[in-house]
């Protein structure tokens, strides 16, 4: 299975939907609810984890990439992803940091070219090195650029709130629907619709572990329905508050 060398942008942060302590949400409006979701994506001061990407095509063939994911929350949010395998991708790095207009700045180091590549805002919809995630999927969640509506309280989906969001014009999806767990505020299922109203992608949190009191999504799957492909991100050896240095997120 061929995967174009363009996937490694805004990482796996999608992948790390983790939470702080949950409080009853009975009287919570949609703004408060989504604020909790944003907090849930980055608990602790920082985090380190091993990461595995499994890409599966429509015929069931799959390949794996592995590496290390670093995330810092204070004083600002930054992410670094380093690939160790396969051999032809070893040394590939991705650094995410806040950019202008609340759009994440993404830099990729390609060892074959021995240089860094800057990802511009108009490339956010590009496939992240050929996976089912794109740069926007894996970047920081900018929910302030969306209009939100609390649609329903879903009893069947593990006590989830269902929130529909309409991104501003120019975003890569026309409608995003999140099923948010009532107790953990993790978005257990996220549906992405294109501008014709077709359900295009579905992201699910298939594994949740409690690490250092933080419920942590350890396995995230993104399916692209029209192509029959999927990418699964698995996190292991997750550690919080390890004291990551600033230099780790500065690039070269």
The predicted model scores a pTM of: 0.81
Domain boundary assignment for the chain = 14-243
Closest CA to 132 of 17, 53, 193: 53
Instruction: Report the distance separating Cα 84 and Cα 68, nearest Å.
Output: 8
| CATH 3.30.1220.10 assigned to 14-243 | no
pLDDT value for 3 = 46
Residue with tokens 């608990």: 43
Report which of residues 156 and 202 the model is more confident about: 202
| Residues 215 and 221 sit within 8 Å (Cβ to Cβ) | no
pLDDT digits (tens, 9 = 90+) for 58-76: 999 999 999 999 999 877 8
The region, left, alpha or beta by phi > 0 then psi within -120 to 50, assigned to residue 46 is: beta
pLDDT value for 145 = 64
pLDDT digits (tens, 9 = 90+) for 211-250: 999 999 999 999 999 999 999 999 999 999 999 998 898 7
pLDDT at 53 over 90: yes
Instruction: Report the distance separating Cα 55 and Cα 86, nearest Å.
Output: 13
């Amino acid at each position: 299975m061929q995967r174009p060398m363009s996937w490694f942008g805004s990482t796996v942060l999608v992948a790390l939907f983790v939470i702080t302590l949950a409080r009853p949400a009975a009287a919570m409006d949609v703004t408060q609810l989504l604020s909790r979701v944003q907090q849930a994506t980055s608990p602790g001061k920082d985090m380190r984890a091993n990461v595995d990407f499994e890409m599966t095509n429509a015929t069931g063939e799959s390949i794996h990439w592995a590496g290390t994911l670093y995330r810092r929350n204070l004083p600002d949010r930054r992410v670094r992803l380093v690939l160790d395998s396969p051999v032809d991708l070893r040394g590939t790095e991705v650094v995410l940091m806040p950019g202008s207009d609340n759009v994440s700045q993404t830099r990729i180091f390609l060892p074959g070219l021995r240089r860094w590549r800057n990802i511009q805002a108009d490339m956010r919809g590009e496939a992240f090195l050929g996976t089912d995630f794109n740069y926007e999927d894996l970047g920081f969640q900018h929910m302030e650029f969306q209009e939100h509506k609390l649609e329903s309280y879903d009893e069947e989906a593990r006590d989830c709130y269902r929130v529909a969001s309409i991104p501003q014009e120019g975003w890569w999806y026309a409608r995003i629907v999140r099923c948010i767990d009532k107790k953990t505020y993790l978005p257990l299922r996220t549906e992405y619709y294109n501008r014709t109203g077709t359900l295009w992608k579905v992201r699910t949190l298939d594994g949740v572990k409690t690490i250092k009191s933080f419920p942590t999504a350890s396995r995230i799957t993104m399916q692209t329905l029209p192509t029959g492909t999927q990418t699964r991100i698995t996190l292991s050896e997750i550690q919080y508050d390890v004291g990551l240095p600033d230099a780790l997120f500065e690039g070269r």
